[in-house]
Amino acid sequence: MKNIPDVKLGIVAVSRDCFPIALSISRRQAIVSAYDGDLYECPVTVENEADMRKAVDDVKAAGCNALVVFLGNFGPETPETLIAENFDGPCMFVAAAEGDGDLINGRGDAYCGMLNCSYNLAMRHLAAYLPAYPVGTAQDIAAMIAEFVPIARAVIGVQHLKVITFGPRPQDFFACNAPIKGLYELGVEIEENSELDLLVAYKAHANDPRIPAVCEDMAQELGQTGNNYPEMLPRMAQFELTLLDWAEQHKGARDYVVFADKCWPAFPEQFGFEPCYVNSRLASRGIPVACEVDIYGALSEYIGACVSADAVTLLDINNSVPASLYEKEIKGRTAYALTDTFMGFHCGNTPSCKMCADRAVKYQLIQHRLLEPEGSDPDFTRGTLEGDIAAGDITFYRLQCDSEGVLRSYIAQGEVLDVATGSFGGIGVFAIPEMGRFYRHVLIDQHFPHHGAVAFGHYGKALYEVFRFLGVKNIAYNQPKGLPYKTENPFD
């Protein structure tokens, strides 16, 4: 099952009829030559609304699902913005810089035309992506197009996404009980099911002939040192097949699916295992499964998977780093203060490809304390994938609908440090510049839940543009020391 869209880009040049159309055509051709990738060149150069219809029909027939609208000269503001209105996919608007001709017959004034273009887009309430400086040479614009691809991939994914839940959401996890109004504003569909529905479907997959092959794949992934409970694999393989079949059978009119599942307290006892390892495997395939029916956590993970084209995870912003560990392993080796660090944790849902080599299937210690007899060997609380998360760059982020039904988000870039946690679960020591202030004035003051999505790399720039394209007005970030938050006491 392919769960992340492929971007098929097209480029349409526009031209104001009092400027030479040849200028737009030659500049469009130069961009196509400069771009290192698949870029469909629409042969129709748009001067009027009739041209606009022909161009949109042409790029649709070519299979394009994202579009570059190029102002090769001043451009016709009505037809060019109607392209975005009539094309079913994200559009980027860019304009030509001067310098490839004389400044009499070879001047295009696209620098000026971009102002009218953006004004017209706003009057029509059309979402479009404009780079930070949307005017450039063919080489400049080719670089802008490359940055547009992951943004377009995420927008297309969201616009064709269904979130499937198995709940209800946990009573004492109100942070996960967010209004679904924001999903509809984003164009995301949702299907909410009972945990019993999932149990019935799971039982129906007993003795599925595909189970042995999935077990073999799990064993190969875990290796000899990670496969602590080989007798558990058939149960977990049965569950994996249940989710994959449900996704295929229930995606309906949508192309892509994510899950937000209830995983405690009834799940392990009724299913006979913890679902964490299976969740990790699906996340590594671009199908995030958020813990504790966290709908916006699943959506956030999916956006990160589209942007990074890589596996993601969902973690608790969990516990502070002990001062003793900081003094021994972090202080003096990095520039981070103690308050810049924290531990990100979840029971065992992080993909194995993002963990240290000693990761292994274990049991959920907290659930074992709660659900199984004291002093007993773990039974149905087995099934977590545990170990330290591998060191490297990360982006911690979340898209959330607050209690008032307003979409808000945050993005913070940092890293997982190469420091052994000495703890349990899927866990890592995270460091984000000015995390202490960010924790207080964004996460607490803006009422974000304890779950955050993690993309493995620095993707803040693309995520910011995706959130802005989706209409999110509040995009918070970890502000540097010299830039105070609105709620920060200036006398502190």
The reply to whether 454 falls in a domain is yes
Contact status, residue 280 vs residue 386, Cβ threshold 8 Å: no
Sequence-separated (6 or more) residues with CB below 8 Å from residue 141: 31, 34, 68, 70, 94, 96
Q: Work out how many domains the chain is built from and give that number.
A: 2
Same-domain status, 106 and 239 = no
Same-domain status, 294 and 407 = yes
From residue 226, how far is each of 4, 357, 360, 386 by CA, in Å? 29, 9, 4, 9
The 3-state secondary structure of 188-241 reads: CEEEEEEHHHHHHHHHHCCCCCCHHHHHHHHHHHHHHHHCCCHHHHHHHHHHHH
Distance CA 139, CA 30 (A): 8
Q: Which domain-ending residue is among 126, 158, 190?
A: 158
Distance CA 459, CA 409 (A): 14
Contact status, residue 59 vs residue 88, Cβ threshold 8 Å: no
Contact status, residue 274 vs residue 367, Cβ threshold 8 Å: yes
Distance CA 295, CA 286 (A): 16
The reply to whether 178 falls in a domain is yes
What CATH number does the domain containing 47 carry? 3.40.50.10940
Q: What is the pLDDT of residue 172?
A: 72
Mean pLDDT of the chain: 96
Same-domain status, 154 and 165 = no
Phi, psi for 352 (deg, rounded to 5): -60, -30
Distance CA 181, CA 287 (A): 23
Same-domain status, 137 and 244 = no
Same-domain status, 101 and 117 = yes
Q: Which domain-ending residue is among 158, 177, 209?
A: 158
Sequence-separated (6 or more) residues with CB below 8 Å from residue 357: none
Same-domain status, 366 and 402 = yes
Q: What is the pLDDT of residue 72?
A: 98
Whose tokens are 């190969």? That residue is: 220
- pLDDT digit string, tens, across residues 94-153: 999 999 999 999 999 999 999 999 999 999 999 999 999 999 999 999 999 999 999 999
The reply to whether 466 falls in a domain is yes
Q: List % helix, strand, coil for the chain (3-state, nearest 5).
A: 40, 20, 35
Distance CA 87, CA 65 (A): 8
Same-domain status, 128 and 172 = no
Contact status, residue 419 vs residue 429, Cβ threshold 8 Å: yes
Three-state SS for 314? Answer: strand
Whose tokens are 């760059």? That residue is: 393
- pLDDT digit string, tens, across residues 249-271: 999 999 999 999 999 889 999 99
Distance CA 415, CA 62 (A): 41
Contact status, residue 451 vs residue 297, Cβ threshold 8 Å: yes
**Mean pLDDT, residues 68-77:** 97
DSSP-assigned states of every residue in 411-434: EEEEEE-S----SSSEEEEEE-TT
Other beta carbons within 10 angstroms of residue 254's beta carbon come to 16
Distance CA 145, CA 148 (A): 5
The reply to whether 483 falls in a domain is no
pLDDT bin (cut points 50, 70, 90) of residue 24 is very high
Same-domain status, 344 and 374 = yes
**Mean pLDDT, residues 25-33:** 98
Q: What is the pLDDT of residue 264?
A: 87
- DSSP character for 441? I
Same-domain status, 322 and 211 = yes
- pLDDT digit string, tens, across residues 292-328: 999 999 999 999 999 999 999 999 999 999 999 999 9
- pLDDT of residue 1 exceeding 70: no
Contact status, residue 36 vs residue 60, Cβ threshold 8 Å: no
Q: What is the pLDDT of residue 96?
A: 98
From residue 349, how far is each of 110, 292, 342 by CA, in Å? 49, 12, 19
- pLDDT digit string, tens, across residues 428-438: 999 999 999 99
The reply to whether 287 falls in a domain is yes
Same-domain status, 311 and 328 = yes
Containing 384, the helix (H) or strand (E) segment is strand 382-388
Going by C-alpha positions, the residue among 408, 361, 405 that lies closest to residue 383 is: 361
- pLDDT of residue 29 exceeding 90: yes
Same-domain status, 141 and 282 = no
454 DSSP β-pair partners: 313, 396
Q: What is the pLDDT of residue 175?
A: 60
Other beta carbons within 10 angstroms of residue 464's beta carbon come to 17
Domain that holds residue 112: 9-158
Q: Which domain-ending residue is among 158, 191, 224?
A: 158
68 DSSP β-pair partners: 11, 92
Same-domain status, 246 and 144 = no
Count how many Cα atoms sit within 13 Å of the Cα of residue 422 in the half-sphere of its side chain. 7
The reply to whether 485 falls in a domain is no
The reply to whether 491 falls in a domain is no
Going by C-alpha positions, the residue among 448, 476, 475 that lies closest to residue 296 is: 448
Q: What is the pLDDT of residue 167?
A: 87
Q: How far from each other are the two terminal CA atoms of the chain, in whole angstroms?
A: 53
- pLDDT digit string, tens, across residues 150-173: 999 999 999 999 999 998 877 777
* % of residues, the chain, pLDDT over 90: 95
Other beta carbons within 10 angstroms of residue 340's beta carbon come to 23
Contact status, residue 137 vs residue 98, Cβ threshold 8 Å: no
Contact status, residue 137 vs residue 97, Cβ threshold 8 Å: yes
Whose tokens are 């030509």? That residue is: 96
